[in-house]
A and B are shown apart, each in its own frame.
Chain A
């Protein structure tokens, strides 16, 4: 099963973003929950080529009021 190591950055706020590993790749337009707050993914790029089943991605996100479908918080992020 592939693992996606993702660098999330929100350029609208200070704080440096989040790095996490997860089982599915983030998709442009979807809402992800980071630190219990919803963010919309606006861009996803491959940072470096995959190695040994691990994909290395960078996602630019922005805050949104929209809730992600299922709960609990951060269900989408992590193992």
Chain B
């Protein structure tokens, strides 16, 4: 993974180059094709994703069928809710572009790293919180 490219993802904001390299080393690059599933609503969540290239659709199962909540492009995170609260995936996430390239992090490995590296862990958690806050602001503005 190109470090400079990955560093433009919100997860890495505020980290030094050395710190970013340490976090990058925890992840694995994965490429999805259009229609591939990243997460399934209600399923156990053990991964968190950062989109590097492409686009991911976030959708909810409803009584009327699946409803699209939003689309996430490069730099955005998928699976951060479950990373924080430990619950199952809150939505379906599906690649809608060819290719959709992501960095995948194992949840427990990332959390263990944050525990053992509190300074980096603080920055990562702040970035994840900021990403969640931005999504809430986006949702509020989209429902006006």
Task: Give the interface of A toward B (CB within 8 A).
Answer: 3, 5, 7, 9, 11, 14-22, 34-35, 47-48, 51-54, 56, 58, 74, 77-79
Contact = CB atoms under 8 A, between A and B. Distances in A.
The interface residues of chain B, by DSSP majority, are classed as mixed
Contact of B72 (A11, A20, A48, A53): A20
B138 A21 contact: no
Chain B, interface size: which category? 20 to 34
Interface of B: 5, 8-10, 13-14, 52-53, 55, 58, 68-76, 96-97, 130, 134-135, 137-139, 141-142, 144
Most chain B CB within 10 A, of A21, A51, A53, is at A21
A79 B72 CA distance: 13
Contacts of B71: 15-19, 34-35
B53 A18 contact: no
For the complex of A and B, the 7 pairs showing the least CB-CB separation, nearest first, are A20-B73, A21-B75, A16-B70, A7-B138, A78-B74, A18-B71, A9-B142
Contacts of A78: 53, 73-75
A3 B72 CA distance: 16
Contacts of B72: 18-20
A77 to B, nearest CB: 6
Contacts of A7: 134, 137-138, 141-142
A59 to B, nearest CB: 10
Contacts of B14: 52
A49 to B, nearest CB: 12
Nearest to A34: B71
8 contacts: A5-B75, A9-B138, A9-B142, A17-B70, A19-B138, A21-B74, A58-B138, A79-B53
A14 B60 CA distance: 14
Given A54-B10, A54-B13, A74-B55, A20 B137 contact: no
